[in-house]
Structure 1
Amino acid sequence: MEKVNWKVEGMSCTNCALTVHKYLEGEGLSNVKVNFIGGDVSFELPKDNDAHKLELEKGIEGLGYHVANGAAQAAGVAKKKKWLHNHWRRFLFCLVFTLPLMVHMIPGVHIHWLMNHWVQLALTLPVYIVGMDFFGRSAIRSLLKGIPNMNVLVALGATAAFVYSLTGTFTANPANYLFYETTATIITLVFLGNWLEDKSVETTQENIRKLTVTQKIMANMIAYDDQYQEHVFPVESQYLKVGDLVLINSGEYVPMDCKILSGTASVNEAIVTGESAPVEKKMNDKLIGGSIVDSGSVKVYITAVGEDTVMSHILRMVQEAQAEKPPVQQLADKISAVFVPVVTSIALLTLLGNLFIGNHTFTESLLRSIAVLVIACPCAMGLATPAAIAVGLGRAARNGILFKNARSLEVFRNIKQVVFDKTGTLTTGQFALRRFAALAVEEEELKQIAYSLEKHSSHPIARCITREWKVKNELRWGKIEEVKGLGMQGTDKEGNRYEAVSHKAVAALTSDTTHNVYITRNGVLLGWIDVADEIRPEAKAVVAQLQQSGIKTILLSGDTKEKCAQVATTLGIEEVVAEQTPEQKLQRIADYNAVAPVAMVGDGINDAPALAKATVGISLSDASQIAMQSAQVVLMNHGLKHLPMALGLGRHTYVTIQQNLFWAFIYNIIALPVAAFGYLSPTFGALVMGLSDVVLAINSVRLNWKKV
């Protein structure tokens, strides 16, 4: 299956997203995700099916939306944009004709010929045509798909006023039916409101847009001629390929993910980690595309381009998280789905109630029902959650905190316990070889066996041993595997079984539990290795912050009781559970979860099951791949520094969602009866409706600088 990611323009509310979602699922596509905030649409379909993509794109275009990067663009099919292709242009066009209709509202100004019904019809007709070209088409398409959107309400209100005025134009007293300015102002002000809404939504995406380097990056590509003379020439980063050689000088962007061949540099990786302090890089270190070389000069070779880069992966993760619907949004979605029929019914009841019960004229009753149609705002309810989620995810990403789904951002508000692994989480994981002993073999043979086994592990202790004891004549394995919680096991081609394991695996061979790694061959203890690990400098402050917030801290590790107790005492951790296998860790997390929601922070292969079981699993960016895959949150700053911010952002994002939903509901609960009883004109209602979404966006954007 191929995963397709499209940018769809023109979606303005939850109903729009539901319409596109329903269409794609109706076409038999799987794993459909639609996010109207960013316009991101993704789905899966069989590979090499370009014809089907073109059909799907035409179908989405037929719904009234535009696929900006679809199959037609890839095939080189040029699409001519309409002159009135956005809300701002439509607003300006309509404003030219609407302003003369509103001149009579200015005190002391009365231009007789502008009150002529034929002049007013002539001024209103262009506005009505443009309005129905957008609102009318969108309304009809949404009705045909069974998901009426907000444009149904606008089209009904504007059409009711226009048809009523047009009917009156052909009667004996046309002056009594002149509501052309109502039609024109509704359409004009709703276009203005939609433009304000688009701009407001864009601001919620600001931090996410900053993750991409918008300008084209020029790279200094290195090439060699027939005489092996080096030549450097500029090339746009988009044309780089894996394996290309590039020179990066001080002050330049790193064009793509790469590895240093020679040279040293101080690199600012704030775009990914949120840390502005430069990181020193040397030969064989990796550089992330989009980071900046503050000082120094390096020659590198490209390791990943396009969709395979770290930055693309981060953006994809954030976009997918945005497309996920957290539980709190489900109620708003259900209400939004039935909102338009309910409001239409209220507008009809308003017309009949004012006419027959309130004894108002048909003209006044119609105006009140039009006001009900125009002031109602389903968009506000649909926007309440996605806007807050977009800002929360964006701020998190800018600070090196990656949420894989929106659910994990929301459930952070309930976290009462944080469980830490020890090695590589509370400690740096940068081990140094302290001492070793060869008991049944020579030292060189012990080193050879240890290196040959540990080179196949990503555990920090294993990386330390292979870094210190690199040998050339390593053993060749017929079978090699890493056993969670124990260590490495290998069998050579002669059938000899070797192990580099923790004490649990060799308890029958020695009672000495003080060493980190034990080396065996065919059940015989060959020697042991001790390494030293340092506690992360930020760990104590992070633990203190969590405890001040009323969160219980727990150390859960496979290491010995003595080492775990030492770390816990140094950091002030309240509870210690040591010498746990991955299965026991999993059970412990389940037990903690039964008491209160738990966040688990870990980085090793043995933490993966526990990370998946926790309410929220949190991994570090230098963790093992399986740990990062099992976690719902990844801290990209190579440490725990932003863990309190991640928890705080989760809580404050949820508070913002609650505030937004309260405003959306209270706005509609108050606005609808106010309009029904004649206290709001359709014109003012159209303006207030547009501003309601702006209020939600502004409240959401506050998350960017709010102390969390």
Structure 2
Amino acid sequence: MSTALQTRFRVEGMDCASCAAKIDTAVRRMPGVEDVSVSVTAGTMTISHDEKSDLTAIGKKVGGLGYAVQQLGAGTSVKTEEHHDHGASCNHDHHHDHTSHGSAAAKADVEGLHGHDHGPSSGPWWKGKKGRATILAGLSLVVAYGVGHLFPSIQLYAFAAAMLVGLVPIARRAIMAALAGTPFSIEMLMTIAAIGALVINATEEAAAVVFLFLVGELLEGVAAGKARDSIKSLAALVPKTAFLEENGKTREVPAESLVVGSTILVRPGDRISADGVIVSGESSIDEAPVTGESVPVHKVVDDVVFAGTVNGDAALRVRVTATAQDNTIARVVKLVEEAQEKKAPTERFIDRFSKYYTPAVVVVAALVAIIPPLFAGADWNEWVYKGLAILLIGCPCALVISTPAAIAASLSAGARRGLLMKGGAVLEGLGKLTAVALDKTGTLTEGKPKVTDIVPFDLSEGEILRLAAALEIGSSHPLALSILAKAEENGVDVPPANDAKALGGKGVTAVVEGQEIFLGSPKAAAQRVMIPEQHLTTIAALNDEGKTVSVLLVGDKLAGAIAMRDEPRADAVQGLKLLKERGVKIVMLTGDNKRTATAIGEKLGIEVRAELMPEDKQRIVGELKSQGFVVGKVGDGINDAPALAAADIGIAMGGGTDVALETADAAILHGRVGDVARMVDLSKRTMRNIHQNIAMSLGLKAVFLVTTILGITGLWPAILADTGATVLVTLNALRLLRNPTA
């Protein structure tokens, strides 16, 4: 079994898919490189390579194409033969040290102009090299017009000089790309067209075309930057500083210096600076930045809080559970960036298509330029001009970026709403789901029991709850916690209890206000007192509803009973209804007993398969697939792991935990059942957007191809057809970013 290393690089300045293609081709040719994944929108490159790979040389190779490169952290080793399409659920990475490659590998920053003039990805556009190159080309064009007007005899030379100002760096990068294995780059097509225009003395148009090309690329870079900044803005939500408590004193420190186990003070109105657990205080927390939940969530001691969320109306002391590099938002950003490197099937098809499409365009342009003059005696200048225009029309930028731009926007938009999807293939696949199997506990239900009924036999409901709560003080048992939560909700004044004893498997006893109190199972209670038939009937009816019943005895009196059940999530009924409306078959798969599962299933209106082992859930998912369904499995990512892996799309339901983020193909951070349908909707909207983009890019090319051959349009409209289409496609994709429900 071979073991490959994985190393990620930050690559500054990429603004379109052709950039990624050039880098991919160049790096794949480097010794020891087994695989390359480049994301324009994330600005990253991940390579799989062996231990002998020279990372410094790889950085210089990418830098030679005109990009600034920086290695991100240490590499990781992966067993290449174990990889499959369930993303992080199959990731058995172990850290590996690359120090043997020398410190130079850690930072290979290389500056340089490119055909797209790859400058900084941040800051005002005019401060980047791309912006400066465009401004310089524009000024040169204006000067050429002035000189040509004043001195008509040197007009051709003036425009030729203006053209060369913009073309020289483009041509240099075209040659570098060709030497690195990409002869048919957009820079090469641009260079051929500009030199051809120079040969037929169309220097004015050539200079204008080079300038328009740079303007189009500048606009494209600005649009791509907006998509990239969307997910980066999520990371910016985490405060840079924190108030650390040490030795009874509080001091302000950088948030990145916090270590696991530290205690921080979070003042009312402040953003929480680290993932952690509340150790004192209670407050409402605005979790919208992480989960998309608009309603603040009330948090008390031992509740989990996330970095970047906003504390409400009271001070909290929080024990840090994750470093700045590993908090929820940092992991979300990392996962989205990695997801953008994983191509969707549509994107892979477009990439393959463009490899044949671009050379074909060059052949067609050459035939248009040569055949009419050779065989029909047509004017060489006229048809060479048309051939050059077709060369510009055929640039594949808009087509190639049509899919990744939409997918990147949707991945970012989803992440900001607590919907994580690990790659384009997952995003595309969600819209094709025809069946969804959901776990019960923690997925369709809250995962913790709640008091549903207080049944008075001899005492009032309030008195039953008051005495039961006294018995449960200090217990961490789920049923005890539900009784205490109900008492707190009702504002019950809980009396102290003495001589509390737990009776294994039966219940608990204590002395409260001078009386012996017992709370336990009906069977254990029946061993102490006689339970009348009508009360046994009531208890049996509650059991039939899937509820757990505890009986309260005060001395030798039968005081009452408390029924508890793990209740459905607040939005479960509506969430399942949304899936049904989309024509998706839904089924509950649970290991719980049939009686409890059936009661919950009837309440939710869902088909139930109960008393299942993990392998049974996996088998049922396989059966659904064999029946022709495209199956999604929604679960908590632990006991559902086999079924999550077996499904076409595995979706983990959780609140930002490691399991929710790393186990399945997708994760719902907030735990809303309705978010499954929202993922399906986002997928379908994304695919519609992609189809619109492809239609726009190919449609514009087709129109201008015909008008160019007919002599209606020339070089200027040709370059506008390419760069204009690229900008239109990118802006259309950004609609998903601004309003994913549109």
User: Do structure 1's residue 9 and structure 2's residue 45 form an aligned pair?
Assistant: no
Structure 2 distance, partners of 1:357, 1:460, is: 88
User: Do structure 1's residue 315 and structure 2's residue 333 form an aligned pair?
Assistant: yes
Seen in structure 2, the aligned counterparts of structure 1 residues 128 and 400 have a Cα distance that, compared at 3 Å, is same
Residue 515 of structure 1: CA displacement?
9.2
Q: Of the candidates 104, 113, 116, which is equivalent to residue 153 of structure 2?
A: 116
Task: Say if 1:114 and 1:120, in contact at 8 Å, map to a contact too.
Answer: no
Aligned to 2:396: 378
**2:19 aligned counterpart, secondary structure:** helix
Amino acid at match of 2:131: W
Amino acid at match of 2:619: Q
Q: Of the candidates 211, 233, 242, which is equivalent to residue 234 of structure 2?
A: 211
Residue 274 of structure 1: CA displacement?
0.5
Structure 2 distance, partners of 1:34, 1:622, is: 30
Task: Say if 1:64 and 1:137, in contact at 8 Å, map to a contact too.
Answer: no
Aligned to 1:446: none
Task: Say if 2:26 and 2:181, in contact at 8 Å, map to a contact too.
Answer: no
User: Do structure 1's residue 532 and structure 2's residue 565 form an aligned pair?
Assistant: yes
Task: Say if 2:637 and 2:644, in contact at 8 Å, map to a contact too.
Answer: no
Amino acid at match of 1:583: E
Aligned to 1:591: 623
Q: Of the candidates 126, 133, 152, which is equivalent to residue 90 of structure 1?
A: 133
User: Do structure 1's residue 191 and structure 2's residue 206 form an aligned pair?
Assistant: no
Task: Say if 2:292 and 2:416, in contact at 8 Å, map to a contact too.
Answer: yes
Q: What CA deviation, in whole Å up to 9, does each residue of 1:66-125 have, x standing for no partner? A: 215669899688867779953221111111111244579xxxxxx7534222x5424532
Aligned runs of 1:412-427 on 2, under 5 Å?
412-427=430-445
Q: Report which stretch shifted further, 544-553 or 624-633.
A: 624-633
Aligned to 2:714: 681
Amino acid at match of 1:353: I
Structure 2 distance, partners of 1:150, 1:56, is: 23
Structure 1 distance, partners of 2:178, 2:109, is: 30
Q: What CA deviation, in whole Å up to 9, does each residue of 1:353-399 have, x standing for no partner? A: 34234544222222212211222231112111101101111111111
**1:637 aligned counterpart, secondary structure:** coil
Aligned to 1:99: 142
Residue 63 of structure 1: CA displacement?
2.3
Structure 2 distance, partners of 1:565, 1:338, is: 57
Structure 1 distance, partners of 2:64, 2:256, is: 33
**1:380 aligned counterpart, secondary structure:** helix
Q: Of the candidates 187, 202, 214, which is equivalent to residue 151 of structure 1?
A: 187
Structure 2 distance, partners of 1:129, 1:658, is: 38
Q: What CA deviation, in whole Å up to 9, does each residue of 1:318-371 have, x standing for no partner? A: 111111111112221112223332222122111113423454422222221221
Aligned runs of 1:9-88 on 2, under 5 Å?
9-27=12-30, 28-30=32-34, 32-44=36-48, 52-67=54-69, 86-88=129-131
Structure 2 distance, partners of 1:462, 1:65, is: 60
**2:392 aligned counterpart, secondary structure:** helix
Seen in structure 2, the aligned counterparts of structure 1 residues 243 and 615 have a Cα distance that, compared at 3 Å, is same
**2:671 aligned counterpart, secondary structure:** coil
Provide the identity percentage.
28
Aligned to 1:253: 271
**1:4 aligned counterpart, secondary structure:** strand
Task: Say if 1:608 and 1:627, in contact at 8 Å, map to a contact too.
Answer: no
Aligned to 1:407: 425
Structure 2 distance, partners of 1:344, 1:215, is: 50
Structure 2 distance, partners of 1:675, 1:404, is: 43
Structure 2 distance, partners of 1:699, 1:420, is: 34
Q: What CA deviation, in whole Å up to 9, does each residue of 1:10-52 have, x standing for no partner? A: 33433332332233333323553211233211234578x9x93
User: Do structure 1's residue 705 and structure 2's residue 728 form an aligned pair?
Assistant: no
Q: Of the candidates 209, 217, 223, which is equivalent to residue 246 of structure 2?
A: 223
**1:296 aligned counterpart, secondary structure:** coil
Residue 699 of structure 1: CA displacement?
1.9
**1:260 aligned counterpart, secondary structure:** strand
Seen in structure 2, the aligned counterparts of structure 1 residues 606 and 34 have a Cα distance that, compared at 3 Å, is same
Structure 2 distance, partners of 1:332, 1:622, is: 36
**2:157 aligned counterpart, secondary structure:** helix
Structure 2 distance, partners of 1:43, 1:136, is: 28
Structure 2 distance, partners of 1:56, 1:465, is: 62
Structure 2 distance, partners of 1:357, 1:322, is: 50
Structure 2 distance, partners of 1:614, 1:466, is: 39
Aligned runs of 1:560-639 on 2, under 5 Å?
560-573=593-606, 575-595=607-627, 596-603=629-636, 605-622=638-655, 629-639=662-672
Seen in structure 2, the aligned counterparts of structure 1 residues 94 and 73 have a Cα distance that, compared at 3 Å, is farther
Seen in structure 2, the aligned counterparts of structure 1 residues 331 and 623 have a Cα distance that, compared at 3 Å, is closer
Unaligned segments of structure 2, at least 5 residues: 74-102, 114-118, 120-126, 454-474, 487-499, 505-543, 550-561
Q: Of the candidates 355, 380, 383, which is equivalent to residue 362 of structure 1?
A: 380
Residue 409 of structure 1: CA displacement?
1.0
Aligned runs of 1:124-163 on 2, under 5 Å?
124-133=160-169, 135-147=170-182, 148-162=184-198
Q: Of the candidates 288, 298, 305, which is equivalent to residue 287 of structure 1?
A: 305
**2:431 aligned counterpart, secondary structure:** helix
Task: Say if 2:436 and 2:584, in contact at 8 Å, map to a contact too.
Answer: yes
Residue 193 of structure 1: CA displacement?
0.3
Residue 630 of structure 1: CA displacement?
4.0
Aligned to 1:451: none
Amino acid at match of 1:158: A
Task: Say if 1:322 and 1:405, in contact at 8 Å, map to a contact too.
Answer: yes
Aligned to 1:449: none
User: Do structure 1's residue 202 and structure 2's residue 222 form an aligned pair?
Assistant: no
Structure 2 distance, partners of 1:630, 1:434, is: 33
**1:606 aligned counterpart, secondary structure:** coil
Q: Of the candidates 554, 558, 577, which is equivalent to residue 591 of structure 2?
A: 558
Task: Say if 1:204 and 1:697, in contact at 8 Å, map to a contact too.
Answer: no
Aligned to 1:652: 685
Q: Report which stretch shifted further, 667-676 or 650-659.
A: 667-676
Residue 658 of structure 1: CA displacement?
1.8
Seen in structure 2, the aligned counterparts of structure 1 residues 466 and 142 have a Cα distance that, compared at 3 Å, is farther
Structure 2 distance, partners of 1:322, 1:131, is: 32
User: Do structure 1's residue 238 and structure 2's residue 223 form an aligned pair?
Assistant: no
Amino acid at match of 1:705: N
**1:429 aligned counterpart, secondary structure:** strand
Task: Say if 2:255 and 2:324, in contact at 8 Å, map to a contact too.
Answer: no
Residue 465 of structure 1: CA displacement?
12
Q: Report which stretch shifted further, 627-636 or 184-193.
A: 627-636
CA RMSD of aligned residues (A): 3.7
Q: Of the candidates 689, 695, 700, which is equivalent to residue 728 of structure 2?
A: 695
Structure 2 distance, partners of 1:59, 1:365, is: 39
Amino acid at match of 2:33: L
Task: Say if 1:100 and 1:114, in contact at 8 Å, map to a contact too.
Answer: no
Residue 682 of structure 1: CA displacement?
0.8
Residue 628 of structure 1: CA displacement?
5.7
Structure 2 distance, partners of 1:156, 1:434, is: 77
Amino acid at match of 1:647: V
